[in-house]
């Protein structure tokens, strides 16, 4: 039987601590004091008669009980928020809303046309697009702040309670401005990128391990002049105005390459292909508008893949 002592504040506090892995950060986000967060978590653990977090000097981590409770707490808060939103939407006579997370690389390729396709079918639905690193998006998806995420397949330890639908695969590209010194050679030596500033994904980026493996496989050690960034707008502007080399998912620069603003170095990166798709929560039912958006993304991804496959043959 449901313990009536468990309140909404217990769930939101638990979810924020789980997401932030820190009582201090959770307190800042919730705009309450650290002792209040600790007290709320302690009350919840007493009501459940189970320890939900392991505490250490480096922060807090979920126990096995906490991991189980996270699935259902996230789904409960999501369902309640959807119920509140539905009442607000009826009062405003407006449409529904969808919270969509996208990796910056996908946001630049598939998503503009996919959302345009969806809006033509459901113009009253508000789509809230959140772009950011994969770890952040998966954390928000897990606690119900996002309805789905479009991006690369996450690491196995991040996929517990989540479902992935494959859309297509994309490779890592090395791009530079037209007229770059390396383009004078039909078969440039990839190790020569050490002579230039190189833009690379930071450690929290999902493609970072793939880029590292590629560089190691080609005998490239630490890059002496590097800039770490996930900003596609910065990467695009900096690369077009300097002799920098930008290592990035092909989807982020496909249009720039097609329009001649950037040029892909003729270097074999076929071993860097990775799956791109849709990630949703297993424990949360998919609403009709979200299902419509998923279909629009799948259709646009299929068209995008077919178009670029044709260009690459």
Q: Which of 242, 171, 182 is nearest to 213 (CA)?
A: 171
Q: Indicate if 267 and 214 belong to the same structural domain.
A: yes
Q: Indicate if 165 and 297 belong to the same structural domain.
A: yes
Host domain of residue 240: 172-272
Whether 3 maps to a domain, the answer reads: no
* Minimum mean pLDDT range among 72-81, 92-101, 240-249: 92-101
Q: Indicate if 179 and 258 belong to the same structural domain.
A: yes
Q: Indicate if 31 and 85 belong to the same structural domain.
A: yes
Q: Does position 313 have pLDDT exceeding 80, yes or no?
A: no
Q: Indicate if 297 and 284 belong to the same structural domain.
A: yes
Q: Indicate if 61 and 151 belong to the same structural domain.
A: no
Interatomic CA distance for residues 102 and 67, integer angstroms: 25
What is the CATH classification number for the domain harbouring 36? 1.10.10.10
What is the tens place of the pLDDT at every residue in 119-169? 998 888 899 999 888 888 888 898 888 999 998 888 887 788 899 999 988
In sequence order, which residues have a C-beta less than 8 Å from that of residue 114 and are 6 or more positions away?
Answer: 293, 296, 297, 299, 300, 301
Whether 1 maps to a domain, the answer reads: no
Q: Which of 206, 221, 222, 261 is nearest to 239 (CA)?
A: 261
What is the tens place of the pLDDT at every residue in 267-285? 889 889 989 899 999 888 7
Q: Indicate if 191 and 264 belong to the same structural domain.
A: yes
Q: Does position 236 have pLDDT exceeding 90, yes or no?
A: yes
Domain boundary (58, 93, 128) is at 93
221 falls in which pLDDT band (50, 70, 90)?
A: confident
Domain boundary (93, 109, 126) is at 93
Q: Does position 311 have pLDDT exceeding 50, yes or no?
A: no
Q: Indicate if 204 and 112 belong to the same structural domain.
A: no
Domain boundary (93, 108, 136) is at 93
What is the tens place of the pLDDT at every residue in 154-207? 888 778 889 999 998 889 999 999 999 999 888 888 999 999 999 999 988 889
Q: Indicate if 267 and 186 belong to the same structural domain.
A: yes
Q: Indicate if 107 and 237 belong to the same structural domain.
A: no
Whether 2 maps to a domain, the answer reads: no
Whether 296 maps to a domain, the answer reads: yes
- What pLDDT is attached to residue 214? 93
pTM for the whole structure:
0.65
Tell me the two tokens of residue 295: 């279909």
Q: Indicate if 250 and 204 belong to the same structural domain.
A: yes
Q: Indicate if 69 and 149 belong to the same structural domain.
A: no
What is the tens place of the pLDDT at every residue in 83-124? 777 666 545 545 678 999 998 777 667 889 999 999 998 888
What's the structural domain count of the chain?
Answer: 3
What is the CATH classification number for the domain harbouring 182? 3.40.190.10
């Amino acid at each position: 039987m449901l313990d009536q002592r468990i309140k909404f504040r217990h769930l939101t506090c638990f979810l924020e601590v789980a997401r932030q892995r820190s009582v201090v950060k959770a307190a800042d986000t919730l705009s309450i004091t650290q002792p209040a967060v600790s007290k709320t978590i302690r009350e919840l653990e007493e009501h459940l008669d189970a320890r939900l977090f392991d505490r250490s000097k480096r922060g807090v981590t979920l126990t096995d009980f906490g991991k189980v409770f996270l699935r259902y707490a996230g789904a409960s808060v999501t369902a309640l928020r959807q119920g509140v939103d539905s009442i607000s939407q009826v009062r405003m006579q407006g449409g529904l809303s969808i919270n969509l997370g996208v990796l910056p690389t996908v946001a630049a390729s598939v998503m503009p046309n996919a959302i345009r396709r969806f809006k033509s079918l459901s113009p009253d639905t508000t789509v809230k697009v959140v772009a950011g690193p994969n770890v952040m998006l998966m954390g928000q998806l897990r606690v119900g702040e996002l309805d789905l995420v479009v991006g690369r397949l996450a690491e196995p330890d991040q996929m517990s309670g989540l479902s992935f639908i494959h859309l297509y695969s994309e490779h890592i590209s090395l791009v530079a401005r037209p007229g770059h010194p390396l383009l004078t050679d039909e078969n440039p030596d990839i190790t020569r990128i050490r002579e230039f500033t190189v833009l690379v994904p930071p450690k929290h980026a999902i493609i970072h391990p793939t880029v590292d493996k590629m560089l190691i496989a080609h005998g490239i050690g630490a890059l002496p002049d590097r800039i770490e960034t996930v900003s596609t707008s910065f990467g695009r502007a900096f690369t077009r105005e300097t002799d920098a080399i930008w290592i990035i998912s092909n989807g982020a620069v496909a249009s720039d390459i097609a329009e001649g603003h950037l040029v892909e170095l003729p270097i074999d990166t076929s071993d860097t292909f990775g799956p791109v798709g849709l990630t949703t929560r297993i424990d949360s039912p998919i609403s009709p508008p979200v299902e419509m958006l998923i279909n629009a993304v799948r259709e646009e991804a299929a068209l995008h893949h077919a178009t670029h496959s044709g260009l690459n043959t």
